[in-house]
């Protein structure tokens, strides 16, 4: 087990002369469940967008299993992400959307149905089989659709930006169970950003804290992690 | 309060993401409006003389009265399709200490400042002045008549909003109304029950008793109250949100699977077309565009062959022009998916081109009945359709890559320039003009049949090199990926 799932090298991102992200080196290993924490403007979403090659880097590069993110499309077969509503198609119903994703990922329709059955509780009977377009769903329900859509096709790398935000308490707890299930075997790598420190510490195996675009903490989870983070973010 | 709202509007114009663009378009529209206004003014001015000569026993005023119904109907039609109730983002105001009445009054009074309300005054004031200065009628009579006509026009302004609201909610009602109006027009035409005579008689009466001009003013009040009450009633967020929620049955259009790797994107595009306001109005435009030929084929004296080629390109390619120029901007609200999922850009483009091919072939089939106007016209339409398939589709898809403005799917297309960039205007020229010029040049040297053949061959060559130009355009997509992703994120005008 030597190869890194994601390799960040000499990465920097500059907007209008202002450096918003500066990461000399960061390796993400298979089985990592990374909780990314940081205040607004720390660069969490920017980092995820760069990992997905949605915004260009100023310097440096991102490698997915040795493949350059901007140079190849291969990594898209094992990586999925849900960052914001631009990852949803508003005029489709949730089922149509999930089937669309399955089609472009070359996944059988029956697998989607199995997946939906498995995560039936997660939707709480509010989303599926209603004939409602995604654009008419509430923010929380849209997020549920987005999260489930990233599980299609058995990806090994999953990236979620603020998955807990907008979700009701029960769904937050269900989501935590889902994350723990997914990472239990150690095959899947997850990257999750959140403002909720206790949720993040609860589910992740490794915590990375960003501040003004720099990695200020990178540690394996232990019992002291939560107090330490609370200490760190107390002003 | 009104002043504060106006100040907000002003800020929203100048602080929007692309100020220059929206101001440019507003200036351009203002320029066209000015041209149109001058034209109307000139017509109004000379109308008296023209009508005076055309009839011996009727005053020009009487002739105008006979056609007032036609004017009002067309004004209503124009308003119905073009004019929209101004939009005010009410959410932040609802919880403030601003009464709902104030908001509604503001919305409605703001709506008055529109070009459509100038049409009637521009035409009829000069005409009325002419009638008065010649001495057909006294000043008071003319004044009463003017108030009555402009008053009717203004009441149409408010009635139109009520009509739009009730029709968009109940489309069955719409078809009934259209039927009733059609029957009335027929009766009028057959002189069974002449509505236009009734209308004319009323305005004649106004000329006799100017005090009757009060009636149209009452009509304004009624129409205002009507729309005011329904708007005031709807000024709750929930009301709007609920009426929008419509349930559909999940439809997977299985037969498209035949198209293999293109299937997912084409299926998505078909849903895009059916389920969004803007694309729906685009389909309507494409359909009515097919009737364009009727305007030209009837008076064969005025139409040169170049014109017929233009009509052919336009009729079979209208959908391609309208839809193709916004590829990939149609997908702007979810463009991240296109780039994070395993969608090969070349396949994506291939799927889009197939959709355009289908539309052109549909247009080609539907224009076949025009053979009634001559075999020549059929041949021109067929060869321009093939030219569209092979040459215009790549040109339009290529120019589409210059577009990095988000398209708001929920707005109607009519007079909607949102998402329109300079490239879209420039693109129209090569797509529409090159074939016309080319045709004229080729035709100067050879026969009509050979010219048709050359156009078909050009289209075929374009189709044969399909993979080449798909690859070239896909390369453009990669080069402009980040610019597009960023541009598509910018919400707003």
pLDDT higher than 50, residue B244:
no
- Output B362 or B26, whichever has higher pLDDT: B362
Q: Which of B336, B406, B477 to mutate to test the interface with A (most CBs of A within 10 A)?
A: B336
pLDDT of amino acid B240: 46
Q: Report if residue B19 sits inside a domain.
A: yes
Kindly list the distances between the CA atom of residue B284 and the CA atoms of B75, B182, B273, B413, in Å, as whole numbers in the listed order: 20, 20, 11, 10
Measured CA to CA, the distance from residue B97 to residue B103 in angstroms comes to 11
Tell me the pLDDT tens digit for each residue of A21-69.
999 999 999 999 999 999 988 999 999 999 999 999 999 999 999 899 8
The pLDDT, as a whole number, for residue B13 is 66
Same domain, B396 and B335: yes
Instruction: Identify whether B98 is part of a domain.
Output: yes
Statement to judge: residues B208 and B273 lie in one domain: no
Q: Comparing C-alpha atoms, which of B109, B83, B82 is closest to residue B5? A: B109
Instruction: Looking at the complex, report in whole angstroms how far the Cα of residue B344 sits from the nearest Cα belonging to chain A.
Output: 9
Q: Give me the pLDDT at residue B307, please.
A: 85
Q: Please check whether residue A113 touches B, CB under 8 A.
A: no
More confident residue, A75 or B48: A75
- Tell whether A37 is covered by a domain: no
Among chain A residues, CA nearest to B331: A89
Q: Does A96 sit within 8 Å of B271, measured CB to CB? A: yes
Considering the domain boundaries, does residue B47 fall inside one? yes
pLDDT over threshold 60, residue B374: yes
Whether B482 sits inside 8 A of A55 (CB atoms) is: yes
pLDDT digits (tens, 9 = 90+) for B348-363: 999 999 999 999 999 9
Q: Chain A: nearest CA to B246, how far in angstroms?
A: 7
Q: Is residue B3 part of a domain?
A: no
Residues B240, B295 share a domain: no
Mean pLDDT over the full length of chain B = 82
Angle at B42 between CA B38 and CA B45, to 5 degrees: 140
Last residue of a domain, one of B209, B244, B279: B244
In a domain? residue B292: yes
CB-CB neighbors (< 8 A) of A84 in chain B: 336
Widest Cα–Cα separation across chain A = 51
Tell me if B245 and A131 make a contact (CB, 8 A cut-off): no
Question: What is the reported pLDDT for A58?
Answer: 93
Q: How confident is the model at residue B245 (pLDDT cuts 50, 70, 90)?
A: very low
The mean pLDDT value for B397-425 works out to 69
Residue B87, pLDDT score: 65
Partner-chain residue, chosen from A54, A73, A88, that has the shortest CB–CB distance to B485: A54
Q: Cα distance from B394 to chain A (closest Cα, Å)?
A: 24
B164-173, B181-190, B397-406: which has the minimum mean pLDDT? B164-173
**Is residue A103 in some structural domain?**
yes
Instruction: Output the pLDDT for position B413.
Output: 54
- Structure-block tokens of residue A170: 């029960």
CA distance B30 to chain A (A): 34
Instruction: Over range B299-323, report the average pLDDT.
Output: 82
Q: Is position B383 within any domain? A: yes
CA distance A93 to A97: 6
The complex scores an ipTM of: 0.88
- Min Cα–Cα distance to chain B from A185, Å: 25
| Residue B31 confidence (pLDDT) above 80 | yes
Give B237 or B99, the one with higher predicted confidence: B99
Nearest 5°: the CA angle B256, B259, B261 is 115
pLDDT of the residue at B418: 55
To the nearest whole Å, the CA of B484 is away from the closest chain A CA by 10
A76 vs B contacts (CB less than 8 Å): 340-342
Q: Percentage of residues in chain B with pLDDT exceeding 90? A: 26
Q: CB atoms < 10 A from the CB of B288, how many? A: 10
pLDDT over 80 at B340, yes or no: yes
Contact with chain B for residue A108, Cβ under 8 A? no
Test A86 with B334 for CB contact under 8 angstroms: yes
Q: Do A54 and B276 touch (CB under 8 A)?
A: no
Distances (CA, A) of A202 to A150, A205, B174, B479: 21, 9, 58, 42
Residue numbers in B near A52 (CB within 8 A):
336, 339-340
Q: CB neighbours (10 Å) of residue B336?
A: 23
The band of B155, judged by pLDDT with boundaries at 50, 70 and 90, is very high
Rounded to a whole number of angstroms, the distance from the CA of B341 to the nearest CA of chain A is 6
- Give yes or no: residues B303 and B226 share one domain: no
Query: Which candidate from A52, A87, A136 shows the least CB-CB separation from B334?
Result: A87
Dist CA A14 CA A22 (whole Å):
9
One domain, residues B292 and B381: yes
A235 located within any domain: no
- Number of domains making up chain B: 2
Residues of chain A with pLDDT under 70: 1-2
Write out the residue range of the structural domain in which residue A122 sits: 86-155
pLDDT tens digits for B412-435?
555 555 555 555 666 778 888 899
Using CB atoms, pick whichever of B252, B333, B340 lies closest to residue A90: B333
Q: Do A86 and B336 lie within an 8 Å CB cutoff?
A: yes
The whole-angstrom distance between A232's CA and the closest CA on chain B is 33
Question: How would DSSP label each residue in B254-287?
Answer: GGGGGGGGGHHHHHHHHHHHHH-HHHHHHHHHHH
Do B309 and B397 lie in a common domain? yes
Q: What is the pLDDT of residues B177-195, one digit of tens each?
A: 778 888 887 887 777 777 7
The pLDDT score that the predictor gives to residue B97 is 77
Q: How many CB atoms lie within 10 A of CB B88?
A: 15
In terms of pLDDT, which residue wins out, A178 or B91?
A: A178
Chain B residues inside the 8 Å CB shell of A54:
336, 339-340, 482, 485
Which has more pLDDT, B418 or B44? B44
Please say if the pLDDT value at position B275 is more than 60. Answer: yes
- Determine the straight-line distance between the first and last CA of chain A, rounded to whole angstroms: 41
Nearest to A130 among B247, B485, B488 (CB): B247
* pLDDT for the residue B300: 57
pLDDT, position B430: 84
Domain shared by B165 and B192, yes or no = yes
Interface test with B, best of A91, A99, A101 (most B CBs within 10 A): A91
Flag if B341 and A52 touch (Cβ within 8 Å): no
A5/B contact by beta carbon, under 8 A: no
Q: Please indicate, yes or no, whether residues B26 and B150 belong to a single structural domain of this protein.
A: yes
Does the residue A93 lie in any domain? yes
Same domain, B240 and B265: no
Q: Are A56 and B271 in contact (CB < 8 Å)?
A: no
d(CA B493, CA B489): 12
pTM of the model: 0.74
With CA atoms as reference, the chain A residue closest to B408 would be A90
Is position B390 within any domain?
yes
Domain region containing B208: 15-244
**Domain presence at residue B254:** no
Domain stop point among B183, B214, B244: B244
What is the number of other CB atoms lying within 10 angstroms of the CB of residue B96?
Answer: 8
For residues B98 and B165, state if they share a domain: yes
The DSSP secondary structure of B117-176, one letter per residue, reads: HHHHHHHHHHHHHHHHHHTSS-HHHHHHHHHHHHHHHHHHHHHHHHHHHHHHH-HHHHHH
Give the per-residue pLDDT at B241.
Answer: 44
Token pair recorded at residue B25: 């378009």
CB atoms A136 and B244 under 8 Å: yes
My answer on whether B400 and B464 are in the same domain is yes
Closest residue to A131, CB basis, from B249, B267, B344: B249
Lowest mean pLDDT among B2-6, B103-107, B178-182, B209-213: B2-6
Residues of B in contact with A55 (CB under 8 A): 482, 485-486
A48 → chain B, closest CA residue: B340
Q: Which helix (H) or strand (E) holds A160?
A: strand A157-161
Question: pLDDT by residue (tens digit) across B461-485?
Answer: 999 999 999 999 999 999 999 989 9
Interface of chain B against chain A, CB under 8 Å? Answer: 244-252, 263-264, 267-268, 271-272, 275-276, 333-337, 339-344, 409, 482, 485-486, 488-489
Set of chain B residues whose Cβ sits within 8 Å of the Cβ of A73: 342, 344
What was the pLDDT predicted at B243? 43
Q: Which of B215, B244, B273 is the last residue of a domain?
A: B244
Q: How far is the alpha carbon of B267 from chain A, nearest alpha carbon, in Å?
A: 9
The total of structural domains in chain A comes to 1
The answer to whether residue B127 scores a pLDDT higher than 50 is: yes
pLDDT score of A149: 94
| Residue A167 is assigned to a structural domain of this protein | no
B124/B212 same-domain check: yes
CA distance B408 to chain A (A): 12
CA-only gyration radius of chain B, Å: 26
In chain A, what residues touch B334 (CB-CB under 8 Å)?
86-90
DSSP secondary structure code for residue A186 in this structure: S
In a domain, A102, yes or no: yes
């Amino acid at each position: 087990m030597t190869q890194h799932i994601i390799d960040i090298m000499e990465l920097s991102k500059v907007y209008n002369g202002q450096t918003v992200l500066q990461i000399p080196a960061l390796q993400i290993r298979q089985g990592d469940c990374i909780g990314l924490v940081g205040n607004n403007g720390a660069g969490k979403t920017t980092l995820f967008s760069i990992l997905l090659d949605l915004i260009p880097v100023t310097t440096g590069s991102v490698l997915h299993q040795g493949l350059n993110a901007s140079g190849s499309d291969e990594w898209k077969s094992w990586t999925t992400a849900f960052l914001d509503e631009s990852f949803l198609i508003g005029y489709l119903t949730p089922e149509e959307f999930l089937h669309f994703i399955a089609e472009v990922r070359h996944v059988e329709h029956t697998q989607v149905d199995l997946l939906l059955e498995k995560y039936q509780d997660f939707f709480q009977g509010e989303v599926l089989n209603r004939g409602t377009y995604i654009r008419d769903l509430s923010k929380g329900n849209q997020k549920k659709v987005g999260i489930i859509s990233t599980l299609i096709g058995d990806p090994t790398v999953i990236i979620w930006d603020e998955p807990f935000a907008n979700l009701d308490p029960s769904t937050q707890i269900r989501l935590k169970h889902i994350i723990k299930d997914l990472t239990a075997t150690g095959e899947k790598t997850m990257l999750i950003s959140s403002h909720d420190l206790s949720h993040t510490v609860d589910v992740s195996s490794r915590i990375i804290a960003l501040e003004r675009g720099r990695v200020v903490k990178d540690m394996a989870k232990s019992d002291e992690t939560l107090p330490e983070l609370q200490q760190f973010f107390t002003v | 309060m009104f002043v504060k709202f106006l100040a907000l509007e002003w800020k929203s114009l100048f602080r929007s993401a692309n100020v220059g663009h929206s101001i440019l378009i507003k200036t351009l529209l203002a320029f066209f409006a000015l041209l149109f206004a001058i034209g109307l003014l000139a017509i109004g001015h000379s109308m008296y003389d023209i009508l005076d000569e055309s009839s011996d026993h009727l005053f020009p005023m009487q002739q105008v009265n006979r056609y007032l119904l036609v004017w009002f109907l067309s004004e209503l039609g124009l308003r119905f399709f073009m004019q929209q109730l101004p939009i005010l983002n009410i959410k932040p105001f609802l919880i403030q200490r601003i009464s709902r009445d104030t908001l509604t009054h503001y919305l409605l009074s703001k709506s008055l400042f529109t070009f459509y309300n100038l049409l009637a005054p521009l035409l009829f004031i000069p005409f009325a002045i002419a009638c008065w200065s010649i001495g057909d009628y006294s000043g008071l009579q003319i004044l009463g008549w003017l108030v009555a006509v402009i008053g009717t026009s203004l009441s149409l302004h408010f009635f139109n909003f009520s009509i739009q609201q009730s029709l968009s909610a109940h489309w069955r009602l719409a078809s009934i109304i259209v039927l009733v109006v059609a029957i009335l027009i027929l009766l009028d035409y057959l002189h069974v029950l002449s509505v236009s005579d009734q209308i004319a008689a009323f305005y004649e009466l106004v000329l006799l008793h100017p005090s009757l001009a009060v009636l149209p003013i009452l009509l304004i009040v009624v129409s205002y109250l009507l729309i005011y009450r329904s708007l005031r009633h709807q000024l709750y967020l929930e009301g709007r949100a609920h009426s929008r929620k419509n349930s559909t049955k999940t439809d997977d259009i299985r037969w498209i699977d035949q198209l293999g790797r293109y299937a997912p994107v084409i299926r998505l595009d078909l849903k895009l077309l059916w389920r969004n306001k803007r694309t729906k109005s685009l389909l309507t435009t494409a359909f009515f565009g097919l009737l364009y030929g009727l305007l030209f084929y009837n008076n064969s004296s005025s139409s040169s062959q170049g014109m017929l080629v233009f009509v052919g390109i336009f009729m079979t390619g209208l959908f391609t022009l309208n839809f193709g120029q916004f590829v990939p901007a149609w997908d702007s609200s979810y463009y991240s998916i296109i780039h994070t999922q395993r969608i090969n850009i070349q396949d994506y483009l291939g799927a889009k081109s197939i959709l355009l091919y289908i539309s052109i072939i549909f247009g080609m089939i539907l224009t076949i009945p025009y053979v009634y106007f001559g075999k020549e016209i059929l041949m021109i339409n067929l060869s321009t359709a093939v030219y569209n398939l092979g040459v215009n589709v790549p040109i339009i898809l290529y120019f589409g890559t210059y577009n990095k403005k988000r398209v708001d799917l929920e707005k109607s297309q009519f007079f909607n320039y949102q998402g329109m960039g300079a490239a879209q205007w420039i693109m129209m020229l090569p797509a529409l003009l090159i074939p016309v010029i080319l045709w004229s040049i080729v035709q100067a040297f050879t026969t009509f049949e050979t010219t048709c053949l050359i156009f078909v061959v050009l289209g075929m060559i374009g189709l044969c090199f399909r993979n080449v130009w798909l690859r070239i355009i896909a390369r453009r997509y990669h080069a402009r990926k980040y610019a597009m992703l960023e541009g598509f994120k910018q919400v707003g005008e």
